Amino acid sequence: MRLKKKHFILVAVFVILVIGFWLLICFNKRKNGICQTHFKMAFIYLLENDLNQQTNTEKLEQTKKISEEVFNYAGRGFITLDLSYPVVKIKINNQNKDRLLYTDPNNLAIYLKDQGIVKEFYINNPDEFDFISIFTNFKIGAGASEAFHALLQNKVEGIGMGMRWDNSANYGSKGKLLGYNYMGDVNLIFTSEFPEERSYYMIGSLLLQETVHQWGAFIGDQDGSSGDLFLQHASGAHWSPGLNTGYDPLGGGDWQDNGDGTFTLKPHASYWWGGEGINNSLFKEVFSDLTLYLIGAVSKEKVNPILKVNYAGVLIPGTTITSEKKYITIDEIISKHGVRLCR
- Smallest gap, in angstroms, from Cβ of residue 233 to Zn ion? 9
Rg (alpha carbons) of the chain, rounded to whole number:
23
- Smallest gap, in angstroms, from Cβ of residue 261 to Zn ion? 32
Nearest residue to Zn ion by CB is 209
Q: Which is nearer to Zn ion, 92 or 183 (CB)?
A: 183
- Smallest gap, in angstroms, from Cβ of residue 20 to Zn ion? 43
Instruction: Write the interaction track for Zn ion spanning residues 206-245; mark x where CB under 5 A is met and - where it is not.
Output: ---x------------------------------------
Say how far apart CA 144 and CA 158 lie, in whole Å.
Answer: 34
Candidates 249, 183, 177; CA nearest to 213 is 249
Sheet holding 255-257, edge to edge: 255-257, 262-265, 320-322
Segment near Zn ion (CB under 5 A); pick from 33-41, 122-130, 201-209, 273-281: 201-209
Q: Which is nearer to Zn ion, 209 or 214 (CB)?
A: 209
H or E element at residue 156: strand 156-157
Q: Which is nearer to Zn ion, 237 or 334 (CB)?
A: 237
- Smallest gap, in angstroms, from Cβ of residue 148 to Zn ion? 8
Q: Which is nearer to Zn ion, 116 or 275 (CB)?
A: 275
Q: Give the interface size with Zn ion as a residue count (CB under 5 A).
A: 1
Instruction: Write the interaction track for Zn ion spanning residues 13-42; mark x where CB under 5 A is met and - where it is not.
Output: ------------------------------
Instruction: Look at the chain and count its residues.
Output: 343
- Smallest gap, in angstroms, from Cβ of residue 149 to Zn ion? 7
Q: Which is nearer to Zn ion, 56 or 222 (CB)?
A: 222
CB 135 within 8 Å of CB 189:
yes
- Smallest gap, in angstroms, from Cβ of residue 195 to Zn ion? 25
Supply angle C-alpha 96, 100, 105, rounded to 5: 105
* 3-state per-residue secondary structure call for 252-280: EECEEECCCCEEEECCCCCCCCCCCCCCH
CA 55 from centre of chain: 26
- Smallest gap, in angstroms, from Cβ of residue 238 to Zn ion? 6
Candidates 283, 292, 246, 290; CA nearest to 78 is 292
Segment near Zn ion (CB under 5 A); pick from 12-20, 203-211, 261-269, 288-296: 203-211
CB 172 within 8 Å of CB 118:
yes
Residues of this chain that interact with Zn ion (CB under 5 A) are: 209
